[in-house]
Structure 1
Amino acid sequence: MNKKYKELPVVGWRELVHLPELGLHAVPAKIDTGARTSSLHGEVIEEFERDGEKYVRFAVDFDQQHVRQVCEAVHVDVRGITSSNGKTQYRYVIKTPLTIGGVEFRAEISLADRSDMKFPMLIGRSSLRRRFVVDSGYSWLQTPELDPVKGHKP
């Protein structure tokens, strides 16, 4: 293995991630190298401008906890994104800080209806590139409070 890859942190196929500017912490996310763009379950409420910049206000529902978090973020674009079923959807794309383990960076994230998915967030390869190595045989490698092998609290 190339030396530079040995220096990168390793993530499992699922991790808890943080979106601090959105007020979202310990969001369960699936790591998906087959997806280009990261996505977050969010229902767009409105577009607006603040200080000459485009923003989007959206709601993130955590059904298991019966919680709805309303968030605002800089609206970067509306893009056609092809989902795993092969259909192209036009989605809002935001850019916001994302933290996985001890690594924080600005990530582009599309807002999608993930209500039928097990994970409210998906981390795509654009966010992973040159930051992490993926070991798909493990979970929670960057989530110290969870057991990395079994995926539950020890």
Structure 2
Amino acid sequence: MVQLPELGLHSVPAKIDSGARTSSLHATVLERFERDGEQFVRFAVDFETQQVRQICEAVHVDWRGITSSNGETQRRLVVKTPIRIGDVEFRAEFSLADRSSMKFPMLIGRSALRRRFLVDSGHSWLQTPGRKPVEGYKP
């Protein structure tokens, strides 16, 4: 579970994917606008199981071609915002994408992890306060 404090998003289930370069957040882009000379984007993050919609605003950093796991390249908006994983908080870039068919609404890619974390693929929930770590399969 991660926090995106400037977006008002707390306890967001996230999957670590060291094979993905860019992190991704499930969102529906509502509008792009300018504020004080900077480009912003307003988007909605839906948590369907809780039937909650959070409206967020973030600085629009870029448009990028992102190749998904099925090999398809999509042009996506990229925003930059602080993220908290465990006790570590830092700014990271996220592409905004429709992840409604995915198990996790957020994917944390290797660019966000670089020089901050060591990934142990044999465990889960190591950085989530209140969750007991789960060990992976051992043959």
Amino acid across the alignment from 1:107: A
Amino acid across the alignment from 1:148: P
SS in 2 for 1:134: coil
SS in 1 for 2:49: helix
What's the offset of the Cα at 1:134?
Answer: 0.5
Does residue 51 (structure 1) correspond to residue 67 (structure 2)? The answer is no
What's the offset of the Cα at 1:148?
Answer: 0.5
Match of 1:26 in 2: 11
Does residue 114 (structure 1) correspond to residue 88 (structure 2)? The answer is no
What's the offset of the Cα at 1:91?
Answer: 0.4
TM-score for the superposition, normalised by structure 2: 0.96
- Superposition CA RMSD, Å: 1.1
User: 2:111 pairs with 110, 126, 129, which one?
Assistant: 126
Higher helix fraction: Structure 1 or Structure 2?
A: 1
SS in 2 for 1:131: coil
What's the offset of the Cα at 1:149?
Answer: 1.8
Q: Which is bigger in relative contact order (C-alpha 8 A, separation at least 6)? A: 1
CA distance in 1, matches of 2:129, 2:63: 35
Amino acid across the alignment from 1:123: I
In structure 2, runs of 5+ residues without a counterpart are: none
CA distance in 2, matches of 1:86, 1:128: 23
What's the offset of the Cα at 1:143?
Answer: 0.8
Amino acid across the alignment from 2:63: V
In structure 1, runs of 5+ residues without a counterpart are: 1-15
What's the offset of the Cα at 1:144?
Answer: 2.2
CA distance in 1, matches of 2:130, 2:81: 25
CA distance in 2, matches of 1:149, 1:38: 23
SS in 2 for 1:21: helix
1:108-146 Cα distance to aligned partner (Å, 9 max, x none)? 000000000000000000000000001111111011201
TM-score for the superposition, normalised by structure 1: 0.86
Amino acid across the alignment from 1:64: T
Amino acid across the alignment from 2:83: L
